[in-house]
Amino acid sequence: MTTTRILTGITTSGTPHLGNYVGAIRPAVAASRTPDSQNFYFLADLHALIKVQDPAKVQRSTLEIAASWLACGLEPDNDRVWFYRQSDIPEISELTWFLTCIAGKGLLNRAHAYKAAVDRNTAEGQDPDFGVTAGLFMYPVLMAADILIFNAHQVPVGRDQIQHIEMARDFAQRFNHLYGDHFVLPEARVEEHVATLPGLDGRKMSKSYDNTIPLFAPREQLKKLIFSIVTDSRAPGEAKDTEGSALFQLYQAFASAEDTAAMRAAYAEGIGWGDAKQRLFERIDTEIAPLREHYEALIAKPADIEERLREGGRTARERMAMPFLAQLREAVGLRDLSQLTIVDVRQDHENRLGKPAAQRVPAIKQYRETDGRFHFKLMDGEHVLLQSIGFDNPKDAGVWVARLRREGAGVMDEVRGLLEVSVPAVEDALEALRLAEEAKAVEKSG
Ligand code: TRP
């Protein structure tokens, strides 16, 4: 059984909040402990450049996110659990170019993020591409390179990212089709049971709504924020709805099933909002306080985090990304010229197709000329290798065709008199044809 490789990327464009913790960090750290899996977690700092053009912010966010994941219990061991920074692996950028050269532009036109920008511009009467960078447009290709460089099987993502994984599959498939089987086709894994947290105003917790609770806000700030969560105006003593209550949903994301049931009962009994908020605050703080302490210790030593990330990146490159990229360079033809002999060069010239002869199966085509006579020709791709004289009877042509298929280059001497065209490559082609026929026969009988 092969180990499942699971890959998670985190864009370094902000400060982690409780929504990130519940929706991504907590489940991913738990998953990293599953046996028989190899887990890749990386800081997508090249992706961050698409959105954030403030260098200090990119740096700060990278530190905060790295420290958050470590504080929440990620234990990189450079074997089962990898933790690195995207920009430390230049092979990702190089692979991005290889994929760029096969990615359909039309497919990228349909990417959600790009399309949303175009739709917004169009609605506002602007040029469709107003303010759109090529970076935003190419986002899915860079993301595909992140995934394919480690041949990840599974990518846990939110619904908004499924399309990106489908694109990565598309690029991988095209590449494999052109250059041979190099990539695993990755699958999106959507965690159905992971909660999407509401923010302070009840909408989904998100930086773009400015309604977040920072994961490692100091205790007092956490309390203040929780007390600012929007509730309805029901007074203490009045029964309250759990349905649609952001407070309740937040509580549920941090509490056991029993505690959640107890809170539900308290709602029905008319708990006051102040008391409910106090309970929520305590529940969250109990879980977060030890992690916060760990976080504070980590973030006080940025050089240690830097070292761990570099070490992860260096080892991942050496063991995986570099040898794999060398293989891909070879596959696309970025090759060592000195390995090409003069004979290869000449043969390639004759073959014109560039693929090694062994990979091609020539074809025999039978046809009738305007004079009513029956011919056949041996084709290698577009090239006519040999062409028969005309036969009055299609059966006579058929007998020769059958012999060519069966006997390969063995019939050359005899067949010469029948030919109008003869080139040296014909023998090779006939051999390839015979071998292909043999293989077909074996397949049928086996
Ligand atoms: N696009 C992802 C997000 O915004 C981040 C990301 C970048 C990613 N590269 C990835 C996620 C590769 C999974 C795999 O959340």
Give me ligand 1 centre to Cα 39, in Å.
14
Please identify which residue in the block is written with the tokens 């039309």. 106
Note the pTM of the prediction, 2 decimals: 0.77
pLDDT tens digits, residue range 328-380? 999 999 999 987 776 666 666 666 555 554 456 788 888 888 888 998 888 87
Residue nearest to atom 14 of ligand 1 (CA): 9
Helix ranges (H only) for 161-256 are 162-179, 219-227, 246-254
Best of 5, 6, 10, 39 to mutate for ligand 1, by most ligand atoms within 8 A of CB?
10
Confidence band, pLDDT 50/70/90 cuts, at residue 62:
very high
Q: Which fold has domain 216-294?
A: Tyrosyl-Transfer RNA Synthetase (1.10.240)
Comparing CA positions, the residue from 437, 416, 420 lying closest to residue 361 is 437
Spatial CB neighbours of 427, under 8 Å, sequence gap ≥ 6: 409, 412
CA 110 to chain centre: 17
pLDDT tens digits, residue range 113-134? 999 999 999 999 999 999 999 9
CA 249 to chain centre: 31
Query: What are the structure tokens assigned to 2, written together?
Result: 């092969």
Between CA 310 and CA 315 the distance in angstroms is 8
Q: Following DSSP, what letter does each residue of 347-379 receive, concatenated?
A: HHHHH-S-S-GGG---EEEEEE-TTS-EEEEEE
Q: Compute how many other C-beta atoms are within 10 angstroms of the C-beta atom of residue 88.
A: 19
Q: Which fold has domain 4-195+301-332?
A: Rossmann fold (3.40.50)
Comparing CA positions, the residue from 153, 41, 154, 50 lying closest to residue 96 is 50
Q: Where in the chain is the domain with CATH 3.40.50.620?
A: 4-195+301-332
Between CA 120 and CA 112 the distance in angstroms is 12
Pick the atom of ligand 1 nearest to 8's CA. 13
- The residue that leads in pLDDT, 100 or 399, is 100
Best of 46, 157, 194 to mutate for ligand 1, by most ligand atoms within 8 A of CB?
157
CA 293 to chain centre: 34
Q: Where in the chain is the domain with CATH 1.10.240.10?
A: 216-294
Query: What are the structure tokens assigned to 445, written together?
Result: 């009988």
Give me ligand 1 centre to Cα 232, in Å.
36
Between CA 89 and CA 101 the distance in angstroms is 20
123 phi and psi, to 5 degrees? Answer: -60, -30
**Helix 134-148 and helix 162-179: axis angle, to 10°?**
70
pLDDT tens digits, residue range 138-171? 999 999 999 999 999 999 998 889 999 999 999 9
Q: Compute how many other C-beta atoms are within 10 angstroms of the C-beta atom of residue 251.
A: 24
89 phi and psi, to 5 degrees? Answer: -120, 85
What was the pLDDT predicted at 422?
A: 47
Best of 7, 69, 164 to mutate for ligand 1, by most ligand atoms within 8 A of CB?
164
